[in-house]
Amino acid sequence: MQAITYSRYGPPSVLQVESLPDPEPAPGEVLVAVKAAEATKSDCELRSLQFPVRWVSPIVRLAIGVRRPRRRVLGGYFAGEVIGLGAGATRFRVGDRIFGASRFRFGGYGQRLAVPESYTLAKIPDALTFAQAAAVPLGGLNALHFMRAARIEPGTSALIVGGGGSIGLFAIQIAKRMGARVTAVDHHRKRDLVEDAGADEFVDYTREDFATRGQAFDVVFSTVAGVSTRACFGVLREGGRFVNGNPRLAHLLMAPWARWVFRRELFVRFAAEAQGELDDLAGMLAREEIRPFVDSELPMSAAPLAHERVQSEDRLGAIVLRIDG
């Protein structure tokens, strides 16, 4: 098979396409012909070993390889077709179109991927292309997890910082579906995209500080690592919830006592990417209650360009790699 690989940590140029042996499904696994994989911020961070939250770096380095990557094929979120079954695998059939997360096996950047059928996988709704389906798991699973954690209900006022990112776009749609009034913060070039996702108000952070607008919210959700904790707490009503999707170490230490000190909650638990959540997303997609936003589909040979665009946020939606073959 052909796969996008990397043998050392570094800039996007370390990515290259090469031939690797086809994997064989072990008992309980499915073999997938991968058709598309989202190029994500996580992929870029793993490739470069540079993380916006510094405390993560040594932990991840121990997990994936101290000097060089143990698994040379990135890609945690993919869509494809089942082409083989390991002994005892019964959840899917050959020919099923599926999408989901490969966890720390990664491998979505390769033409063939063997994963346990117990992983977070689901059938692709009929109306979605492979590229659209690949753009769902990262943003959708995280957004659904955090919006539920925020206890969104009809009439909730929510501020979403980073509304134009993969997670933010789904968070806007899911929060609106739950009945919230949503204000989204991002760069002005993403205004139309964010409003298309359903945001009621837009704040251009290059021209305006959301913390000085005089608005108060029940929920603040941020995926931006450098967002000001003081600013987020400052725009929350008493009893409000600050849901941080990219917490610094200080947030982890602060979370247990924030309710008593600030009279506001700080939620920092990481998304579990649970099967039930992917099933719920598939249902929402099938009913056209939410939808993925895809900026571009790029060939495997353009993986360095895909990573450059994701790193620089030069995109209006997901950047998806077409995994040919």
pLDDT tens-digit map of 306-320: 999 999 999 999 999
With respect to residue 284, please indicate whether it lies within any of the assigned structural domains: no
With respect to residue 180, please indicate whether it lies within any of the assigned structural domains: yes
Global pTM?
0.93
Shared domain for 40 and 9, answered yes or no, is yes
Strand order in the sheet with 157-161: 201-204, 181-186, 157-161, 217-222, 236-244, 265-267
pLDDT recorded at residue 88: 97
Shared domain for 12 and 126, answered yes or no, is yes
Question: What residue numbers bound the domain in which 180 lies?
Answer: 138-267
pLDDT recorded at residue 271: 83
Shared domain for 209 and 89, answered yes or no, is no
Number of domains observed in the structure of the chain = 2
pLDDT recorded at residue 17: 98
Mean pLDDT per 10-residue run, the chain (325 residues)?
Answer: 97 98 98 98 94 73 86 97 98 98 96 98 98 98 96 97 96 98 97 98 96 95 86 91 75 61 72 94 98 98 98 96 88
CATH number, domain of 242, equals 3.40.50.720
Q: In angstroms, what is the C-alpha Rg of the chain?
A: 20
Shared domain for 254 and 215, answered yes or no, is yes
Shared domain for 129 and 161, answered yes or no, is no
With respect to residue 128, please indicate whether it lies within any of the assigned structural domains: yes
Shared domain for 304 and 244, answered yes or no, is no
With respect to residue 283, please indicate whether it lies within any of the assigned structural domains: no
- Using the structure block, give the residue that is written with the tokens 């609106």: 176
Shared domain for 6 and 117, answered yes or no, is yes
Shared domain for 111 and 151, answered yes or no, is no
Shared domain for 80 and 166, answered yes or no, is no
Shared domain for 229 and 152, answered yes or no, is yes
pLDDT recorded at residue 248: 63
With respect to residue 285, please indicate whether it lies within any of the assigned structural domains: no
With respect to residue 287, please indicate whether it lies within any of the assigned structural domains: no
CATH number, domain of 35, equals 3.90.180.10
| Euclidean distance between the first and the last CA atom of the chain, given in angstroms as a whole number | 8
Shared domain for 80 and 119, answered yes or no, is yes
Shared domain for 174 and 250, answered yes or no, is yes
- C-alpha to C-alpha distance for 150 and 130, rounded to whole angstroms: 31
pLDDT recorded at residue 55: 67
- C-alpha to C-alpha distance for 29 and 107, rounded to whole angstroms: 14
- 64, two tokens: 């994936």
With respect to residue 10, please indicate whether it lies within any of the assigned structural domains: yes
With respect to residue 278, please indicate whether it lies within any of the assigned structural domains: no
Q: Whole-number mean pLDDT of the chain?
A: 93
Contacts of 79 (CB under 8 A, 6+ apart): 34, 35, 36, 37, 97, 98, 99, 124, 130, 131, 133, 134
